[in-house]
Amino acid sequence: MENFKIEVDSDGVALVTFDVPGRSMNTLTASVIKEVGDVVERIKSDEAIKGAVITSGKTTGFCAGADLGELGGSGGPNSLGGGGGKPGEEGLKAAFEAGFALNKAFRALETCGKPVAAAINGLAMGGGLEMTLACHYRVVADNPKIQLALPEAKVGLLPGAGGTQRLPRLMGVMAAAPYLLEGKSMKPAEALGFKVVHEVVPAGTEVEAAKTWVKTKGDPVAPWDKKDFKLPGGGPYTPTGSQVFIMGNAMLRKQTYGNYPAQLNIMKAVYEGLQVPFDAAIRIETRYFLKTMMSPQAKGMIRTLFLSLQELGKGSGRPAGVPHYDVKKVAVLGAGMMGAGIAYVQAMAGIETVLIDQSQEAADKGKGYAEGLVKKAVSRGKLTQEKGDAILALIHPTADYDQVKGSDLVIEAVFENREVKAEVTKKAEAQLAETAIFGSNTSTLPITGLAKASVRPASFIGIHFFSPVDKMGLVEIIMGQETSQEALAKSIDYVLKIKKTPIVVNDSRGFYTSRCFGTFVQEGMELLSDGYAPAIIDNVGRATGMPRGPLEMHDDVALDLSYKIAQQTKKDLGDKYEERPFTTIIEKMVEGEGRYGRKNGKGFYDYPENGQKTLWPGLADLAPVKIADVDKAGIEEIRTRLLYRQAVEAARCFEEGVIVDPREADVGAILGWGFAPWTGGPISLIDGVGAKAFVETCDRLAQQYGSRFAPPALLREMAEKGETFYGRFGVKEKAAA
Ligand code: NAD
């Protein structure tokens, strides 16, 4: 065996050390899954072995779970759900056997007839935790940093190695629900409280404690294999247990709108599995596991939210050949909402930050934002006072541009005004070294135009953050016409240093994220001017999987801002600008009624200081309701309009070369504007539906509602050739592989 080492001590206790060679962390690769069977066979058949303790040889943790790279890779030798390419009945059987392999091996461990304990010395996630749940006893090191979790649901999967069956049998259905459905993690002390683990011992003594149990009390029968077993809290067939499922189903529906098969299938696996003996239960689990695994949602979510996110987080879009650029000092121009947030994340990453505003007072106010966040973190015990002070000492608020000297990078976050930006660009560049980069955080102004104020346009780039900066993980890097590859590489190094995920796009109005997100809000306005009741628009908007409805989101963005952008676009585009009926609704709201959105408490909704927002009654006068009721088909049509409108815009961005990598398009959409995560992103949505079907629907929508839905020529060509975005544009991915 290459992944497990077995040493039997003089008392006959076998210490099984899980240690995948050449990796810093254990994962359940195909070779590990095969060897679990060998380990069980040895424990069972070797007469010298009286019992066993399983631990990890890694200092990083016990096991991080399934190897999602193998699992998610389509068609690979270990990818599940494909049935090894065999057709029909035989293929299904093969798929089931492959999916059931680990479940079966863990069950064999549990029923091997000898006591087995897990000594958990670090994080145990997914299949890693499931391995320990199949042991008869669990000892975990006393370290609050250790996480025990079944995070599968977060990437659209179902815990498929006994997790949906053992966890509720240990802690009860109600208590287990958030750990199964949301992938919530528990610390050792919590796990002890829930009776998920049996002992928490000082770190380093877990193997000894586990051995002691095997030698002194070792019981080789799992609780659910005993005659007197009772499910904590009662099973689905008891009055209290059945209530849990009735309530749980309703809550699940409210949270997921039926968009996520994983959560639904987890619920079904638990419900059905708890009513049958354990061996049948795990077969039920495997069926739901495979069903979930084969869904387009799981494929899209694993690829985008795990694999692509991980690759982008390692700088996959970084041009090769430029030496690593360690950004140590950065000047942030403008200490407003964005500048203050940027200063904070930089200081958290250990970067010395000069925070400049028009006056010392304004700059100090900007630093105040970081002071507030640090204070909160200290009071919650997340940061020591000493560390907090050290972080704050890195931020130097000032009005003096001389202090830009020595900076490796400048981030410009002053007012969204060309003249102001041009002025600060000149002032800062006068102090900059030849090698330094200048990044603008503009949200709307094309980078190529802003670079005209620069004497070194090759080092001028867009570095677009999202608000609130400390919470949003994405940074959109924008290449101007003259921006160099070196500037790009250096910017990516900076973004990775502040622990954000970079995507790279080319210059365009609204770049990639704002441009596509804008279409969601605009389609909401189209629906409003079509006469749909606002409540229908926002309710269906939320049901698509977007974080909020389009009208709510419009209020959040600010109506006056969207009005200003529309006016500017009209000026810039001239004859090409297409006036829409909804423009007058916004104009009347902003100019006539002073309704600017959430920021002044008045938008499509009224926002009372204490209390819930309610729809503004005056809206009915500006946009009379003609459709107050919709049936299922009507709901589906609104859903399609809201999602396809964004997806077709993302496709246009590909055609225009605004974005070139499908992974960046999908990750950027979910992290940047909250595009419905169940789809895996707008590009995965199109690939999942298929270009041909997508184009057909878009053609119909264009005919019915207007040219905004017209599919670009690229999509038509892909439809004809039967291509996918990941197939056609996934070049970098293939090259890297
Ligand atoms: P803000 O109005 O909160 O802050 C701008 C700051 O710049 C103010 O503190 C102002 O005093 C300062 N400033 C103006 N002229 C200056 C000068 N000559 N020298 C130094 N400081 C000067 O604006 P914000 O929301 O922080 O936006 C800043 C930039 O970030 C804009 O370009 C905006 O488009 C962009 N942006 C905003 C968001 C957002 O959600 N607000 C998101 C992404 C990007």
CA distance 326 to 319: 16
Q: What is the Å distance from ligand 1's center to 682 Cα? A: 30
In this prediction, residue 730 carries a pLDDT of: 80
The phi, psi pair for 4, rounded to 5°, reads: -130, 140
Nearest CA residue ID for atom 3, ligand 1: 336
CA distance 261 to 296: 10
In this prediction, residue 654 carries a pLDDT of: 96
Beta carbons of 413 and 332 less than 8 angstroms apart: yes
Q: Which residues contact 717 (CB under 8 A, 6 or more apart)?
A: 723
Q: What is the Å distance from ligand 1's center to 657 Cα? A: 28
In this prediction, residue 569 carries a pLDDT of: 82
Nearest CA residue ID for atom 35, ligand 1: 442
CA distance 716 to 710: 10
Nearest CA residue ID for atom 20, ligand 1: 357
Nearest CA residue ID for atom 40, ligand 1: 467
Residues of the chain with pLDDT under 50: 74-83, 733-737
pTM for the structure as a whole: 0.91
CA distance 285 to 735: 37
In this prediction, residue 78 carries a pLDDT of: 38
CA distance 326 to 490: 8
The closest-lying atom of ligand 1 relative to the alpha carbon of residue 356 is 20
Query: Is 464 assigned a catalytic role?
Result: yes
CA distance 621 to 553: 21
SS (H, E, C) 23-86: CCCCCECHHHHHHHHHHHHHHHHCCCCCEEEEEECCCCCCECCECHHHHHCCCCCCCCCCHHHC
Token pair, residue 265, equals 């299938």
Identify the residues whose C-beta falls under 6 Å from ligand 1.
Answer: 333-339, 356-358, 362, 413-416, 420, 423-424, 441-443, 464-465, 467
User: Which of 63, 194, 60 shows the shortest CA–CA distance to 125?
Assistant: 63
Token pair, residue 243, equals 């209530």
Q: What is the Å distance from ligand 1's center to 421 Cα? A: 10
Q: Which residues contact 690 (CB under 8 A, 6 or more apart)?
A: none
Token pair, residue 667, equals 């990750």
Q: Which of 136, 198, 464, 554 is catalytic?
A: 464
User: Which of 207, 470, 460, 428 shows the shortest CA–CA distance to 330?
Assistant: 428
